[in-house]
Structure 1
Amino acid sequence: MPPYNRTEKISVLTTHAFIMPAVAIYSIFLPLKLATAWLYTGLPICFIGGILMLIAYISIRDTPPDKPVTKGAYHISRHPLYVGQFLIYVGMGLACASWVILLSATAWIILWQIAISAEERDLVEHYGESYREYMNRTPRLIGIPKSSNNNP
């Protein structure tokens, strides 16, 4: 776990201690909006988020510990686990037609931007120039990777 400054600690604590548990508890009591556009929009987004997280975990598993993870889902995002989790929350919010979950997902991703900065400082310190190069060619959350000489 990277060393967090005060703002980053508050961000992580708020996310883990309040937002995520509140959404989990709240979602238990929400019915899915069956046979609606909400459900048919939300479930695929949830599914995509879950698949993205699965691919990210496989990439982590298959990468030696002395190298930064840059393959698989990490090719399109430096933090695909966060993106996948965000997509799951958005999908849940849509499937249940819940503005509370959608607002929570938005708050969650904003707060995690702060924590990601600390994580990336730690990764640069640990992996050095190879992680810096990875940062230069790969979007933080999602986007089109920039091409490089060794990454056609």
Structure 2
Amino acid sequence: MSAVPAFEIGIWNAWILIIPYLLVNFGLPFITIDRKSTFWMWPSYTRLERICLVIGMLLMGGMWIYSIFLPLSTGTGWFYAGLFVYLLGWVFLVLAYLTFMATPVDKPNTTGIYRFSRHPWYLGMLLIYIGTGIASASWVYLLVALALLATYRSAYLIPEERMCCERFVEAYREYMDRTPRWIGIPK
């Protein structure tokens, strides 16, 4: 793994792992998820949460741009380990997406993969970024992905849970009591 990888535009760069994610995460919901779903709602943010949100968005944008110039380490152990983490991220993302589509808009997402994690969509997203960093053998990309993870609690998780508690009241509180925020990490 190198701290400063070669910067070159090429077909086998990290962008080929990021483009499918961008299309699914930012395109597909527009045609498949009901507009009344919590997917489309933005919670209210405190000042700290807004700062974390902006930092997180800047980190993501930087990662997307960096992926254009970041060669994948194809044929190496780093590539295959990263590809495994990347594909695991897709499993979480797809299962979360399917649950969102199947859940009525007046109910919280508590079935499917949401039985095991309150935020499988974000978990999948982070695994995709971390897997891309490993597959590229780039410490820089991996560290930025971990910095992005550090912003998630304040930028996404806490505000979203607060919004769901307001919208679904007791049903969501009960769900929070029995389901961890991340898979395998206690509540």
- State TM-score, norm by structure 1: 0.91
1:55 aligns with 2:95: yes
What is the correspondence of 1:3-42 to structure 2 with a 5 Å cutoff?
A: 3-16=44-57, 18-42=58-82
Aligned partner of 1:126 among 149, 154, 167: 167
* Structure 1: distance between partners of 2:110 and 2:145: 26
What is the correspondence of 1:55-74 to structure 2 with a 5 Å cutoff?
A: 55-74=95-114
User: Alpha carbon RMSD of aligned pairs, Å?
Assistant: 1.4
* Structure 1: distance between partners of 2:60 and 2:149: 11
* Structure 1 unpaired stretches of 5+: 147-152
Aligned partner of 1:97 among 108, 119, 137: 137
How many percent of aligned residue pairs carry the same amino acid? 48
- Segments ≥4 residues shifted beyond 2 Å: none
- State TM-score, norm by structure 2: 0.75
* Structure 1: distance between partners of 2:175 and 2:47: 27
* Structure 1: distance between partners of 2:142 and 2:169: 37
Aligned partner of 1:138 among 179, 182, 187: 179
* Structure 2: distance between partners of 1:145 and 1:19: 27
The total of aligned residue pairs comes to 145
**How much does 1:76 deviate?**
1.2
* Structure 1 pair 76–141 and aligned structure 2 pair: CA distance change class (3 A): same
**Residue 150 of structure 1: aligned partner:** none
**How much does 1:142 deviate?**
1.7
* Structure 1: distance between partners of 2:72 and 2:150: 26
* Structure 2 unpaired stretches of 5+: 1-41
**How much does 1:117 deviate?**
0.8
